[in-house]
Each structure stands twice: as C-alpha cells, then as structure tokens.
Structure 1
Amino acid sequence: MPWQAIIGISRLKFLTFTLVTLLLSFSWQQWQQLPLPGDKLLLVSLLALCAHIAVNAWNEYLDFRSGLDLTTTRTPFSGGSGTLPQSPHLAPLALGIALSTTAVVALGGIWLCLETGWSLAWFGLPGLALILFYTGPVNRLPWLCLIAPGLGFGGVIWAGSIMALQGQVPTAAWWLAAVVMLMANNLLLLNQLPDVEADRAVGRRHLAIVYGSNIALKVFALQWLLVYVLIAVAILFGHIPLAAASVFFSLFLVLKMSQQLNSLEQPINALGINVALVHLVPLLLAAGNFFDHFWR
C-alpha cells in the first residue's frame, strides 16, 4: 500500500484546521454546559475529517486530469501535493480515496440524521455539494469560490457539529460560525495568489483572477478585520467568555503579515503567517472556553 501517496493525496497536514475547528466547537459547547455524547462526538469528528480528505482527494484527482498540477508552482501552502504528476499511475488511487471518503460522509450523515433528526440535512447536503463541486463549478464563480471554504468550515463543520450533538444551533453559536467562516475564506484566498496564471489557464475564475490581486488582498484584509470585530462583539454580549480575549494577542501576527504582503518581498512567509493565524485564533478561543469552564 503506497502510504506516502495516500498521505500526499489526502493532504493530511492540512487537516489540522478541521481539528482546531472541532476543538473550538466542542470547547464552546462544554463552556455552554451542553452534553457531549462520546459516540456522536467521535462520529462527527470522523465525518469532518473524511469530508476534508474527500475535498483534498477530489482536488488532487481533478487538477491532475485538467493538467493544472503540471503547471503550478508548488509552495508548502499551495499548488497541490505533486503526488500524481510524479506518479500518474496513482490517479485511480486518488479517485478511490475521493469516492470512498465521500461515501463515508454520506452514509455517516444519514445515520446522524436518523439519530438527531432530518433537519441536520440542511448542513449535510450543502456539505456534500461542496465536496463534489468545489474543484469544478464553484471555482468558476468568484464570490461563491470565496465563501465556499467558509461555508464548509463555519457552516457545515462548526454549526453542523453543534446541530449533530445538540439537535439545534443556539443563536450565540453563529457568532463563532462567522469567525470560522471568515478565517477559512482567508486561508484559501491567500493560497490562491501564487497560482493565478495556472488557474486562469484551466478556466478557473476565483476572486484574484476576475478582479485582480489588489482587490483580493483588500477583501482578505477586510475579512481579518471582521474576525476580530466579531470576536470583540461576541465577548461584549457574553456569547464567548472574557478569557477568550487572549486572542487579541495574535494581532501582532496580523500586522507582521500585512507588512510582508505590502512589501511583496516575502510572499511565502505571508502565506505561512496566515496559516499560523487561522490555527492560533481558534486555539486561543478554545483555551478561553476551557479556562472559563473549569475555573469559573
């Protein structure tokens, strides 16, 4: 079994954002003193990881079929894993991973609907649509392409995990859903910039292609601003604990990233800081939830 190829196709190192999103969800539910049944918690975690792997595997397979992976300049954060261009005979393996993980998500989602209620399908069906169509039609619609990652992480994984475990999504939960959504949008938005010309050649039409990199960077900056504004308002209204205010220590990374993006001297470093930020912010928020839960 070509384990190294499976790791590359699945992009396992990128699954950490799914894990921190789940951690934030579970910590917030615990802070709200909501029940966390172990069996459902494990299944929700498995399905979220399988959904992310499915998106990655479909992306690897379809980008190889379109020829995109043969023309991109790979960075640690963008451009594909390079597994299929180096080993074209593994394309059926990539397709198999994509199909099997998609099937696991669909079947697991049906079981959760039977256990929790079919209102969960309002999260599951859009999630399946994102898995199947993100690499194709979604990438040709710039504004949908911008928000699709956020819908997946903030809507399907964050809010959907609460729905699966609690049977409803409290109004307060949508504040952090919006925070996760904006961060996920920015994670993908900045990572698209190195691949603009290669993406354009295969017919993609994401924000940087249609409106230019300058507009994309302005949207990027606006979304990070909204992340911190939403967190501040959520603390003010008691939707998250005051201990979560430690997240504002991460602003120094935002300033550092802004300097590097403005100078355009070290764009790869800016990509790395952005990846660090979208992990650090949920971790600090989760730490605030846990701290307040155990010490109040």
Structure 2
Amino acid sequence: MQPQVKTSTPHIPESNRGFRAWWQLTRPHTLTAAFVPVFLGTALALQEGTIDYGLFTAMLLACLLIQAATNMFNEYYDFKRGLDTEHSVGIGGAIVRDGIKPKTVMQLALVLYGLSILLGIYICMETSWWIAVIGSVSMLMGYLYTGGPYPIAYTPFGELFAGFFMGCLIILISFYIQAGFVTATSVFVSVPVSILVGAILLANNIRDHDGDKEFGRKTLAILLGRENAINFLAAMFIAAYALVVIMIGLGIASPWAAIVILSAPKAIKAIKGFKAGKVPIQMMPAMKSTAQTNTIFGFLLSIGLFIGHFI
C-alpha cells in the first residue's frame, strides 16, 4: 500500500501569480516531444509534393495543446495521489508550490483538449475523418498516462506508449495529412525519433527513481535499477543514431541526414550527468540535455531530409 502524504496548496491568490508559474504548468521542456515529430513528418511529406501550411499549423498547435494538457493531467493526478509536495524536485509543482488550485489545473487541461478537438475537426475536414479516430485514441492515452485507476506512467510501459503516440504516430499523421498516404520510409524515419521521445520519459523516471519507488510506482527505471536504467538510456541514444546510419546505407534517407551527429554531445552530456548525479536536483541538467538531444536530433534530421530533397 502506498504511504499517505498530506498535501496542501499555498494560500496565494491565483490572480497574483506571474506568467512563469502558468508557463511552467505546461512543462515546456517536454513540448519538444510534440513539435519535433510534426516538423519531421512534414519535412518527409515535402518529398511527395507541396506542403499545406494551414494543415501544418493546425497539426502543430493541436499536438502542443495535447502535450500541455497531458502534462496538466500529470500535475493534477500526481498531486491527488500525494506524489507532489512543496519539496518535490522538478518543473512540476504549480499546485504545491505556486498555489494554483487543482480544479483550475484540470479545467485548463480540458480547455486545451477542447481547442485541440476544434483543430482536429479542421484537419479531418481537409483530409480524412479516420484522423478523428486516431486522434481520439491518442488523447485518451494522454489522459490515461496519469489518470484512471491504472495510470500508464506507473508501469514499465510509459516509455513505449510515449514513444509510439508522441513520436511515431505524430510523424505519420503529419505525413499523411500532407501526402494523403503513408510510406515505408516515413515509418522507418519515425523510429529513431520515437526512441528519443521515450528517452525523455526514461530520463524523468531515472531522476525520480527513489521517490517513485517509495510511492509504489513500477516504472522501467525502477524495474531495471538506476545504473541499468542509465545504461539503457545510453543504448537508446546509440540505437537512434545507428538507425539513421542504417537508413542512409539502405538509401532510405539522404546522406545529409548524417548531420544528426551534431546532436551527439548533448546525449553524451546527459549520460555523464546521470552517472555523476546522486540526488534529483543534481540530475536536472541531465534531464534537460536529454530533451535537447531529441529537439536538436529531430530538427537536424528534418533539415537533412529537406536539403536532400533539393540536392
């Protein structure tokens, strides 16, 4: 049985909180996991024809809104289950440290979901209503990540779900709404980015290893143990870069895609940071480097594909 923690919110009038508190509520370091796949899927679609920038913008905004809402569900349910306190380390804490009411967090998350649905309707009207089915499942998974009786985040499958729904699926939808079909190339290219999206979650779980274990969570980091989880994170980085090399060798991707290697120093910094860190606060820079690896890798891969299309 999980230990019970008494939680309370500081008495700070919500109107007196600055922009930073509300911005932090979206957990901005995770938003790269939403917009990088959209850019990459669109860059891939450019090889099949012209780009509809209206659809691109709608897809980008919808994904950012869904990711931000998912983070707010996380904030809400971590507070409700006693995982977040004013002493917790991390970018979360709008409720326990900034005094934003839990009800406000949930309502804001639902508003963001509502806005993303409106954008989704526009995308469906311009493409296919099958997108509505896929999008609905993705939104449900975003809620069930920390909501519901059996949160995905509390299991060893969080990285897998995050990588698939926030990596692979977004890339393929972004490609489909532009091209009208899905190719084997788009599927192959989605894999390394999906791995790096999962890596962001694993990095978060490595940092929170001790606290999560105390509260009865069964994340991949806990299942593997801290040291093995760090080694697994390193293997994920290596796999992402190796897959790009393989795709270039097979002619699936342009040789220009090799510029992703420029993001490797961030991955190395992340692994070194986790190995050196002993407490959560010391591992925050390593978490940041992991998210930056995903961002830089994705953008460089998009640029490489874009250049390869015109040369």
Report the TM-score when normalising by structure 1: 0.87
The residue that corresponds to 1:46 in the other structure is: 61
Answer yes or no: is the 8 Å Cα contact 1:141–1:206 preserved in 2: yes
Answer yes or no: is the 8 Å Cα contact 2:37–2:298 preserved in 1: yes
For the structure 1 residues 73 and 88, does the alpha-carbon distance in structure 2 shift closer, same or farther, using more than 3 Å as the test? closer
CA distance in 2, matches of 1:281, 1:126: 27
SS at match of 2:236: helix
Answer yes or no: is the 8 Å Cα contact 2:158–2:201 preserved in 1: no
Counterpart selection for 2:302 from 282, 286, 290:
286
The residue that corresponds to 1:230 in the other structure is: 243
The residue that corresponds to 2:286 in the other structure is: 270
CA distance in 2, matches of 1:172, 1:166: 13
The residue that corresponds to 1:67 in the other structure is: 82
CA distance in 2, matches of 1:114, 1:239: 32
For the structure 1 residues 210 and 61, does the alpha-carbon distance in structure 2 shift closer, same or farther, using more than 3 Å as the test? same
2:69 maps to a residue whose letter is A
Answer yes or no: is the 8 Å Cα contact 2:166–2:197 preserved in 1: yes
Answer yes or no: is the 8 Å Cα contact 1:150–1:184 preserved in 2: yes
* Aligned-pair CA distance for 1:210: 2.7
The residue that corresponds to 2:134 in the other structure is: 123
CA distance in 1, matches of 2:285, 2:92: 19
Counterpart selection for 2:110 from 89, 96, 99:
99
Answer yes or no: is the 8 Å Cα contact 2:42–2:178 preserved in 1: no
* Aligned-pair CA distance for 1:279: 1.5
Counterpart selection for 2:167 from 154, 158, 161:
154
Answer yes or no: is the 8 Å Cα contact 1:116–1:167 preserved in 2: yes
Match runs of 1:8-87 below 5 Å? 8-30=24-46, 32-70=47-85, 73-74=88-89, 79-87=90-98
Residues 1:109 and 2:115 are matched in the alignment? no
Residues 1:216 and 2:229 are matched in the alignment? yes
CA distance in 2, matches of 1:280, 1:248: 10
Answer yes or no: is the 8 Å Cα contact 1:72–1:198 preserved in 2: no
* Aligned-pair CA distance for 1:181: 0.7
1:153 maps to a residue whose letter is M
Answer yes or no: is the 8 Å Cα contact 1:153–1:181 preserved in 2: yes
CA distance in 1, matches of 2:161, 2:212: 17
Tell which deviates more after alignment, 263-272 or 125-134. Answer: 263-272
Q: Which runs of 5+ in 2 are unaligned?
A: 1-14
Answer yes or no: is the 8 Å Cα contact 2:65–2:112 preserved in 1: yes
Answer yes or no: is the 8 Å Cα contact 2:230–2:275 preserved in 1: no
CA distance in 1, matches of 2:105, 2:129: 31
Q: Percent identity?
A: 26
CA displacement, residues 224-245 of structure 1 (integer Å, 9 cap, x when unaligned): 1211121112112232211111
CA distance in 2, matches of 1:283, 1:140: 30
For the aligned residue pairs, the C-alpha RMSD in angstroms reads: 2.4
CA displacement, residues 133-157 of structure 1 (integer Å, 9 cap, x when unaligned): 0114202321x21212211222332
Tell which deviates more after alignment, 128-137 or 259-268. Answer: 259-268
2:81 maps to a residue whose letter is S
Tell which deviates more after alignment, 171-180 or 115-124. Answer: 115-124
1:44 maps to a residue whose letter is M
Answer yes or no: is the 8 Å Cα contact 1:124–1:160 preserved in 2: no
1:191 maps to a residue whose letter is N
CA distance in 2, matches of 1:12, 1:29: 27
CA distance in 1, matches of 2:94, 2:266: 32
The residue that corresponds to 2:8 in the other structure is: none
Q: Which runs of 5+ in 1 are unaligned?
A: none
For the structure 1 residues 133 and 267, does the alpha-carbon distance in structure 2 shift closer, same or farther, using more than 3 Å as the test? same
Tell which deviates more after alignment, 279-288 or 244-253. Answer: 244-253
The residue that corresponds to 2:21 in the other structure is: 5
The residue that corresponds to 2:177 in the other structure is: 164
